[in-house]
Amino acid sequence: MQAHRDDLDLTPFLRVPFLRSDLTPATKVYRITDFFSVAQVLEQRRLHLTCMHSYSDVNEGVDRLVRALVLSADGGGCGPFGANDEASTKLQLEQERRGRFIGCWSKNPESHAMWAMYSPDRCSVRMQTTIGKLQEACGKAALASWSVLQDDPLFDLASTPFPMVVESTVLPVLYEDLHHLIGRLARRKRLAKRLVKSKRLFKEGQPPSFPRSMLKVQQKWDRYFKDGFLKDSAYAYEDEVRISVRLGWEPSLGDMREKLRQLGAMDEPLFAGGALDKLDAKAFVLQTRLRVTNDVKAELLPAHYAIPADIGFVESVCIDPRAAKHKADFMKQFFEGHGVAVQRSKSFDAAYLGLSAYPDDV
């Protein structure tokens, strides 16, 4: 579903706190993909994200387990996560993987490994955009999803399990030895439970009061799921930044229609300046951090999810330097016809070519 206006207030999406990171809205990021995918972005102005479930890395989505283990470090159990054994954990991770759609970008502009992996036919293209433009795409994805409240007056979110964008974000990937990390968290959880049981830290019906050491532990582990996506350190060479959209649903989402109607926002374009600012639930819609929304049944989820990518989203491209000349010329003509700068990669060039002087000449 397309947004109706271009003058959207995307300010909340430009405030992503990239803690412990050098990312800014102006940071350039790169993605190597096939020519047709780049052409599709330029022609249709849509960026297609892939369901996490289709990725071969079985640890995709493990952030959800880490979050649960951290929050349960005080001995209170995993709460709504419900991962109490390997079977239930696997189920929860599967739901996370099916409901999240991602696009992978890299801060590294040149990499033999990346060309080899993502350009097996030697005809792929490296497109370049910025963190800021990825953030804008996130914002417009959320607003486009919620436009169903305006476009279809009869649509009932409260009773129809319709996948909505409940989280959209751009964050760097954090690389850790996941087997070691999760093992430590699991041991910490067991230790906390023993401490609660043996010391009787709280009385029946009263909230727990834990030693400062336990709070420090929770703060320490907190960083592993707040500021980025987790991947195993074996993938560190990718230097990845990820755009991510999560689809979810739960009956209370239908309350948004009534809030809009009460505030008079239903009588004007949803995207008109200030319309959403009237809502007490502005963060509910714009920042789209609805962690509590339920997972959507797998049969309701698409294999790919497309989000808006305006003109200028792709700032430049670089054709695989190993591509056959006639193919490279065709792709170059196409990109230049769309006003996209075509750059040349030096990844496979001989470093000694073009020197103005050699040791014997000095």
As a whole-number percent, the residues of the chain with pLDDT over 90 amount to 26
pLDDT value, residue 45 = 95
- Asked if residue 355 belongs to a domain, the reply is no
In a domain, 216, yes or no: yes
In a domain, 44, yes or no: yes
State the average pLDDT over residues 133-158: 75
Q: How many CB atoms lie within 10 A of CB 207?
A: 7
Total structural domains within the chain: 1
pLDDT of 361 > 90? The answer is no
pLDDT at 362: 54
Distance CA 202, CA 137 (A): 47
353 inside domain: no
Element (H, E) at 138: helix 131-146
Predicted confidence (pLDDT) per residue in 98-136, tens digit: 888 999 999 999 888 889 899 999 999 999 999 989 988
Structural domain contains residue 217:
yes
Distance separating alpha carbons of residues 332 and 309, to the nearest angstrom: 21
How far apart are alpha carbons 307 and 224 in whole angstroms? 27
User: Is residue 307 situated within a structural domain?
Assistant: yes
CA 252 to centroid of chain Cα atoms? 24
Most confident of 34-48, 180-194, 225-239: 34-48
β-bridge pairing 229-232 and 164-176? parallel
The reply to whether 359 falls in a domain is: no
Whole-number Å distance between alpha carbons of 61 and 54: 12
Q: Is residue 361 domain-resident?
A: no
Q: How confident is the model at residue 223 (pLDDT cuts 50, 70, 90)?
A: low
pLDDT, tens digit, 9 for 90 and up, residues 271-328: 343 333 333 333 334 333 334 445 566 666 788 899 999 899 999 999 999 999 999 9
Which residue range(s) make up the domain with 154?
11-346
